[in-house]
Amino acid sequence: MIQEAKIEESALLTEIALVSKAYWGYSKEQVESWRKDLTISVKMIEEMMIYTFIQETNVVGFYALNPPVEQSIELEMLFVLPNYIGKSIGKQLLLHSFNEARKFDVDEMTLLADPNAVSFYKKQGFEIIAKKESSIPNRYLPIMRKKLSRR
C-alpha cells in the first residue's frame, strides 16, 4: 500500500535512505558523508510530496517529489530497503510518482540518479540527458528525464 508520509516518519525515512544507499557497496564513511543530503526533515514532509510503501505494517520504501517548476517535476528521492529491492516496490513507487506528477499537468519528470540505479530508471522510460559532477572525485551522476504522457 502506498500512502502519504507522516511527519513522525522523518527519522525512519532518513534511515531507509541511508541503508538503501549503502546497499550499493559504498563505504560507511561515504554514506555518512551523504547523511545531510539524504535526511528527510519534517519541513520536507510538509512541503514536498513524499509517499511511503507499506508492507504489512512497516515502511519499506518511499519517494519524494519536489514541487513542479514550469512543465517539469523532479523526483528528489526514491529508496527501498535492501531486503525489498527486486520485488517491484521501487517500480510501484515510481508508477505512483508518475500519477502524482500528472496531477500538475507537467510534461516531464527529471532526476539525478545514482549510477547504480540507471538501468532501473531506463527500464521505466528515463533517458540520460546530462551529467553532474558528484562529491566523489572523478565521478559523475546522470541527470535523467522521462516524458510523461497525459491521461
User: Over 70: is that where the pLDDT of 151 sits?
Assistant: no
96 is a domain residue: yes
Instruction: Write out the residue range of the structural domain in which residue 36 sits.
Output: 2-111
Point out which residues pair with 80 in neighbouring strands: 61
Residue 130 has pLDDT above 80, yes or no: yes
Q: Which of 10, 11, 15, 9 is nearest to 32 (CA)?
A: 15
Domain membership of residue 131 (yes or no) is no
33: CATH: 3.40.630.30
Taking residues 27-51, what's their average pLDDT?
93
Q: Give the helix ranges, DSSP H, for 2-151.
A: 10-22, 28-33, 35-38, 42-47, 89-102, 118-123
Q: pLDDT grade, residue 136 (50/70/90)?
A: confident
Residue 48 lies in a domain: yes
- pLDDT recorded at residue 97: 98
User: Mean pLDDT over all residues of the chain?
Assistant: 94
70 in any annotated domain: yes
How many domains does the chain divide into?
1
> Is there a domain that residue 14 lies in?
yes
